[in-house]
Amino acid sequence: MLKSCCVTGHRNIPAEKIDYIKQELRKEIMLAFRDGCTHFISGFADGVDLLFAEIVAGLKTKNPDISLEAAIPYRNRLKAKNNKFQKLIKVCDKVTVIAENYSKNCYMARNMYIVQQSQHIIAAYDGRESGGTEFTIRYGRTQGRVLRIINILD
């Protein structure tokens, strides 16, 4: 059975934390890989999601067993003007679009999808008590997923 790992995290990362988060993401991705995860899922939001996708895309070039999936909340999001987004979407092995049109719930539906498809969750989290990252962590716990948290406040 294919083992999967997804990521959740904040869009706005303090500049002084980016290198730390990249280092910790790489470490957690490698731990998930050693635990048998070969399929990695990113929601392709700015910030943590794209850093995760960038690291996985780099690992894919060295290991053909690794695959990357983009979980896109609504179809028009594929037209994002972000250069990194456009570059990384092209190297995905799979692109899943959750909803044809934007709705207020499409991001939550995307977050539920990535948890449902994964055995492992990597979360870069600053302790906020609301928002998509907090929801995804909480939902992952209720689903019994392996949860690894990178504390952004450290």
Q: What is the per-residue pLDDT across 44-95, written as a single tens digit (0 to 9) for each?
A: 999 999 999 999 999 999 999 999 999 999 999 999 999 999 999 999 999 9
- The radius of gyration computed from the CA coordinates of the chain, to the nearest angstrom, equals 14
pTM for the model stands at: 0.95
Mean predicted confidence (pLDDT) in 86-111: 97
CATH 3.40.50.450 fits 7-103+118-151, yes or no: yes
Q: What are phi and psi of 103, to 5 degrees?
A: -145, 165
Q: Is-contact 109 26, C-beta < 8 A? A: no
pLDDT of residue 154: 58
Q: What band does 11 get if pLDDT is binned at 50, 70 and 90?
A: confident
> Where are the strands (E) in the chain, listed by range?
3-9, 37-42, 67-74, 94-99, 120-125, 146-151
